[in-house]
């Protein structure tokens, strides 16, 4: 006979949003359970942010070895070991998984290492066990998708990059979004020949024009071959590798091809139809409090049609717990969310692009303060790398509407600049701040 368990809150998905909600709800004395069939931490910890950033660090050493010569160090003949790096990265993923599990245990949260599906709107099934809950939170994240073209089974998605047994000599990356751009920089830095294929004339479609231009030019300068206004129409496995047929009727042979052309909410196997949960554009429809059309069922993170970023999922998970169990009616503020691209060169921004500001405030009411310079570090290296910064300002109020940067440490710098933009500070406030010299960040004060 199938056992039946009941909880105050049952969470489907152990990613960033689900974990944040579980811990916060447990703080309110709620009896919580969470189901996750894969690594805890979701895409960020296991298949995205963390392992990818570790690979970014690994790829940067090739340039540092070369730069060191200009500072008096002898030339290094160090060799890169792909298998060692992959093993180290996945060991860290396993460590984080255990850390999350221990944290849940300490908080008194029950963990099911299995997939959960809906039986009806109040009942779920987990590994043959029936479970009911007063409140249900769906936090299953998203997953990478591939287009339906001939031979697509030979292509990789980003999740698989962390488990490749061998480093490809020549990798084609299809897609000009941040995932494709980041992996292009990673693999080029590790010694792989990279061809980036994008269907438009520039990468990073929704970013500020300065970021798009400077990152793309920087990638090309560092050795990435960019094919613009091009699509892959088919893939064929050949003795010498994978043959890509391109939209211009030409062909290219590579060792591997990564499709980074989009992600979709990971809801297909939840059996949401049994719970009668409303879907909007393949995602779970929610209101400002993350509540679905079923009043006791909620959803946060990438499985909804909102901003798909780890800090946003965490904020939504905590806001859900504060609202439902803390009775605080918390809403997440989606304005001025800082974002970064750990590409080579790196980029980051917060607030409006210059184009968005012009559309919202009028072309004549917006002024952009820009600079491009060679960082001090490269005064003694052979590289011609530069950094670029931009502040987008409302002429009438002098308020800084957006900040954009391309260059080393852009993400670290932008995190602090985001405080100023979120606080609504003006260009005069920036100007009145004493710069810290010599740094790249001081250029934001001196624009």
Q: Which residues are catalytic?
A: 437
Give the C-alpha separation, 161 to 85, whole Å.
12
**Whole-angstrom distance, CA of residue 198 vs CA of residue 208:** 18
Q: How far apart are CA 375 and CA 218, in angstroms?
A: 14
Supply 418's token pair: 């985001």
Residues 119, 124, 130, 136, CA torsion sign: negative
Which of helix, strand or coil describes residue 133?
strand
Determine how many CB atoms are found less than 10 A away from the CB of residue 336.
17
Please report where in the chains the tokens 């960019």 appear, as a residue.
226
| Burial of 238: CB neighbours in 10 Å, binned 0-12, 13-18, 19+ | exposed
* Annotated binding-site members: 53, 175-182, 262, 302
Using a 10 angstrom Cβ sphere, with 0-12 exposed, 13-18 middle and 19 or more buried, the burial of residue 206 is: exposed
Closest to 175 measured CA to CA, from 258, 273, 72, 95: 258
Residues forming a β-bridge with 130: 4, 125
CA 314/CA 332 separation, integer angstroms:
10
Residue 42 neighbours by CB distance under 10 Å:
29
Contact 63, 186 (CB under 8 A): no
145 near 261, Cβ under 8 Å? yes
DSSP string over 146-170: ----BTGGG-B-GGGGGG-SS--SE
The beta strand positions in 20-60, using DSSP E, are 32-35
**438 cis-preceded (ω within 30 degrees of 0):** yes
β-partners of residue 257 are 172
Q: Token match 């010498």: residue?
A: 240
Non-local (6+) Cβ contacts of 3 within 8 A are: 129, 130
Burial 286-321 (b: 16+ CB within 10 A, else e): beeebbbeeeebbbbbbbbbbbbbbebbbbbbbbbb
Phi/psi of residue 234, nearest 5 degrees: -165, 160
Say how far apart CA 108 and CA 33 lie, in whole Å.
Answer: 9
């Amino acid at each position: 006979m199938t056992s039946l368990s009941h909880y105050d809150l049952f969470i489907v998905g152990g990613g960033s949003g689900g974990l944040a909600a579980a811990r916060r709800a447990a703080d309110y004395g709620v009896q919580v359970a969470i189901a996750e069939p894969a690594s805890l931490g979701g895409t960020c910890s296991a298949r995205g942010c963390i392992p990818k950033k570790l690979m970014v660090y690994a790829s940067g050493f090739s340039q540092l070895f070369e730069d060191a010569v200009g500072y008096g160090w002898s030339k290094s003949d160090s060799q890169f070991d792909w298998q060692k790096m992959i093993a180290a990265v996945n060991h860290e993923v396993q460590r984080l998984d255990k850390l999350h599990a221990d944290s849940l245990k300490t908080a008194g949260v029950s963990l099911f290492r299995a997939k959960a599906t809906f039986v009806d709107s109040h009942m779920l099934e987990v590994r043959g066990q029936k479970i009911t809950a007063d409140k249900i939170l769906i936090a299953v994240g998203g997953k990478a998708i591939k287009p339906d073209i001939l031979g697509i089974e030979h292509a990789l998605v980003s999740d698989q990059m962390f488990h490749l047994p061998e480093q490809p000599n020549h990798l084609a990356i299809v897609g000009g979004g941040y995932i494709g751009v980041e992996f292009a920089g990673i693999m080029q830095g590790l010694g792989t020949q990279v061809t980036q294929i994008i269907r438009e004339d520039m990468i990073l479609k929704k970013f500020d024009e300065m970021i798009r231009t400077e990152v793309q030019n920087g990638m090309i300068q560092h050795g990435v071959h960019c094919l613009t206004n091009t699509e892959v129409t088919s893939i064929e496995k050949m003795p010498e590798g994978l043959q890509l047929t391109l939209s211009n009727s030409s062909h290219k042979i590579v060792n591997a091809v990564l499709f980074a052309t989009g992600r979709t909410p990971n809801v297909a196997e939840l059996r949401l139809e049994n719970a009668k949960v409303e879907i909007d554009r393949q995602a779970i429809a929610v209101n400002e409090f993350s509540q679905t059309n079923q009043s006791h069922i909620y959803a946060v993170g990438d499985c909804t049609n909102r901003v798909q970023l780890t800090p946003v999922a965490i904020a939504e998970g905590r806001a859900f717990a504060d609202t439902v169990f803390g009775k605080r009616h918390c809403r997440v503020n989606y304005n001025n969310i800082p974002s970064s691209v750990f590409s080579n060169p790196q980029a980051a921004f917060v607030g409006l692009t210059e184009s968005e500001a012009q559309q919202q405030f009028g072309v004549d009411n917006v002024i952009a303060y820009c600079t491009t310079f060679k960082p001090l570090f490269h005064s003694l290296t052979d590289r011609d790398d530069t950094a670029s910064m931009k502040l987008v300002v409302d002429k009438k109020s002098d308020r800084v509407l957006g900040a954009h940067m391309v260059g080393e440490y852009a993400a670290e710098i932008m995190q602090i600049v985001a405080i100023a933009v979120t606080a609504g500070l003006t260009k005069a406030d920036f100007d009145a701040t004493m710069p810290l010299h010599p740094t790249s960040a001081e250029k934001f004060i001196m624009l």
